[in-house]
Every structure is written in structure tokens, then in C-alpha cells.
Amino acid sequence: MEKKSMRMQQQKLKPQEQDPQIKSFITSNFNQTNLSMEGYMRVAAEEVEELRRRNRELEREVEEMKTEMIQLWRRTVVAEEAEERLCSQLAELEVESLDQAREYQSRILFLMDQYSRLSSSSSVNVSSS
């Protein structure tokens, strides 16, 4: 069955091959197609090479960005640690200043009390004289 269909195809092709115009048309179209395929393949190869080059550039940029991001992350960690130390120191200073303010207030009250005693004792002494 396959041989029969192959013979039929060959018989169909034989009259075309005998016609010089058809043969010329087929040959010229084949050559044009072949040339355009070569050109297409050349362009495709150039595009593939350009895409590979661009991919390498992008990979380099990604690596640079990763390195920069790691450096920024490290700086952020250092800044956060410094902020924590500063907050801790500030809290200590606030406690110390509050203690000092309380001491000064207590001292002022003590001095005011002494002054008022001295004043009252002086006025008693002045009136008794």
C-alpha cells in the first residue's frame, strides 16, 4: 500500500519536473528560501549572542546589587546597634538628671526651711531687744 502511494506521488512529480518553468520556479524559490533561512539564522545567532551578552551584564549588575545590599544591611545593623546604645545612654542620663533634680529640690526645700527658721529667730531676737 505504501509503495503504491509513493508511486502515485512520483507520478505526480514527474510532469512537474519535466516542465522547465515549474522546475525553475521551484529551484529559485528554494534558493530564496534557503538564502532567507541563512539570513534568518545569522540574525537569530546574532540576537542570541546579544541576549547572552546582555544576560551576562545583567548577572554582573545583580551581583553588584547583592554586594551593595549586603553592605547596606551591615551598615543598617551597625546603625541599629548604635541607636540602641544611644537610647540606653539617654535613658541613663534621664534617670541621673531626674535624681539630680530631686536632690536639688530637696536641698532647696531644706535651705528654705533653714532660712525661714533663721528669719523667724532673727525677728524674735530683734523684737526681744
Contact yes or no for 23/17 (Cβ under 8 A): yes
Mean pLDDT, rounded, for 26-38 = 60
Contact yes or no for 23/16 (Cβ under 8 A): yes
Q: Using the predicted structure, report yes or no on whether residue 60 has a pLDDT greater than 90.
A: yes
| Mean of per-residue pLDDT scores for the chain | 81
> Dihedral, CA atoms, 9, 10, 13, 15, nearest 10 degrees?
-120
pLDDT of residue 120: 84
More confident residue, 24 or 14: 24
